[in-house]
Amino acid sequence: MAVRTKIAGIGHYLPDKVVSNHDLEKVMDTSNEWIIERTGIEERRFADRKKETTSTMGTEAAKKAIADAGITADDIDFIIFATLSPDYFFPGSGVLTQRQLGLAEKGIGALDVRNQCSGFIYALTVGDTFIKSGMYKNILVIGAETHSMGIDFTTRGRDISVIFGDGAGAVILQPTEKEGQGILTNKLHADGREAEELSFICPGSHSGIHDDETDFGFSGKPFDPIFVTQKMLDEAHLYPYMNGRHVFKYAVKKFPEVIMEVLGEAGKSPADINLLVPHQANLRISQFVQKTLRMRDDQVFNNIQKYGNTTAASIPIALSEARDQGRVEEGDLVCLAAFGSGFTWGATLLYW
């Protein structure tokens, strides 16, 4: 049998701080009922800014995944870190986790993936390819986010700020030749034509190339600094933007399409799936996808109600929780799927 990639260990980490919808009612014009009706979210976790960062949360999730796989950190030979909220603009969080795990002197490679909501699926696919090629034997894949440090907690920003939360999940990938185990197929897609419909564009290197009317306060001179300007502050360009209705319409189309794509390649149908773990973007999206694919409640796992949208971390957190709750057992057919900014989307089909 050809070598496949298995998830040999899994773990997740969530900050202790719970922020309920009622907490958000105190700082913006919103309500618990409004948030639940539109997103399904009841609460989320926020990191402790004095001691928790994206990389430290990722490291804690990694430690659990390493222990779950029955290996030590020294066995790791490559790290892939998916996030849209790294500790620093650069370097990436992968090298910080490498250092925190005591692997810096070993010199193993660390790759960061910046694909936002689909980041974990993209990272998993890269890891799968490395394992199948024989290049690495124990790959650590992390999805982690600290959204709370960069969203607008006012009425102006409520459409976004009520959705997101912080957390991390991690898996260990290893080769396997066991029948009925491992990744069957991955599919990745992107459509950049509407990239700005879900984006965080300032500050960025693009700003200096605009004309005088759209340059966000720059004169256009080649040596002007491209950082924060007063216009960016006044017009809220320093916060994420999302055209919610447009994203919803695109997501409920592409989610089922890519799930059916991986199922079709493997000769399977939605009825064969033991558990679908969708990216936790919005409970209403997950419910729409479930209805479209005619899947039962016991076939789909959602935990956005408790944690909000943790972007690149949402799938590994949900998959880890599902395993801990006995929702995933050896030999089960599991489908992971995500859609998000870019637009980018993808799916992975595997035997547990």
Give me the active site residues, please.
117, 279, 309
Helix (H, G, I), strand (E, B) or coil at 87: coil
Give the separation between CA 81 and CA 57, rounded to whole angstroms.
12
Distance CA 288, CA 159 (A): 20
Question: Helix 32-39 and helix 283-293: axis angle, to 10°?
Answer: 30
Beta bridge partners of 281: none
Q: Which two tokens stand for residue 342?
A: 């870019």
Q: Cα–Cα distances in Å, from 322 out to 10, 310, 318?
A: 11, 16, 6
The DSSP code for 349 is: E
State the greatest distance between any 2 C-alpha atoms of the chain, in Å, as a whole number. 63
φ, ψ of residue 189 in degrees (nearest 5): -145, 160
3-state SS of the chain: helix, strand, coil percent to 5?
Answer: 40, 25, 35
Matching residue, tokens 């960062």: 53
**Chain CA centroid to CA 146, Å:** 11
CA–centroid distance for 314 within its chain: 5
Token pair listed for 281: 């973007």
Give me 219's structure tokens: 């004169």
